[in-house]
Structure 1
């Protein structure tokens, strides 16, 4: 009978699996994917980073309504930058369009931070909202299929 400290002679030694380094720029590493309006090719996201700066509070046309306009900065894979000014409602519209266009990818489109009807212009609420908006846009713009969709192209160019 063997003690608990001695290896079982019936077990074989299995060496650990070596670490595999993956070159993200290698074309052979990317899956081929198709999306409506884009021919079959190696699909990559055109964005590499998203940042949302401070928001500007704007009075609505009736003078009593206020809304926040967010400064969105997108760094592109080619080294350029895109600056947008977007409202929460525009990001909500983008989310709805993506869910309609890609119902099978609903789990890849995160929820937006919740709405609040009272206190929605307070600084602490807006800072929390900004974090949720950054997460939403990062998930969308860094996802090759979603980033190359017509909904995102319209969002960025309008």
Structure 2
């Protein structure tokens, strides 16, 4: 009987290795440790044309957002929503001053984003994005979709400061 099992094991296909999660491949329900704080991934917005994912992270009543951009290497940033508004999205300035910090526009984009879970924007309509950075490396992000606007303020995160615990 043991010989029969050995023959079957030789013919049987090996199981595929378990793919390790990266910040770019997070899914809803995963737990992420960022700079010694634990968050549960509650939502995901994916921008395929930018190769960018924007995750909603919850830690109790606290909500933060993790932006993961896949380029030559993963570019990570952690944001929090801030209060504010702009008069007209057609006239976004190239520099914005907030609380004595001057932000300069780095990037702007228009495209469709796919949302799932708890996200600031629930539909997959056309979305407008503006990314700003200050001289002291602070980040500002503006998103607009269907008359709704969100402003985020954040900082870059080192990939080694992110640890993923799969759900």
Structure with bigger helix share is: 1
TM-score (norm 1): 0.27
Bigger proportion of residues as strand: 2
Structure having the higher Rg: 1
TM-score of the aligned structures, taking structure 2 as reference length: 0.26
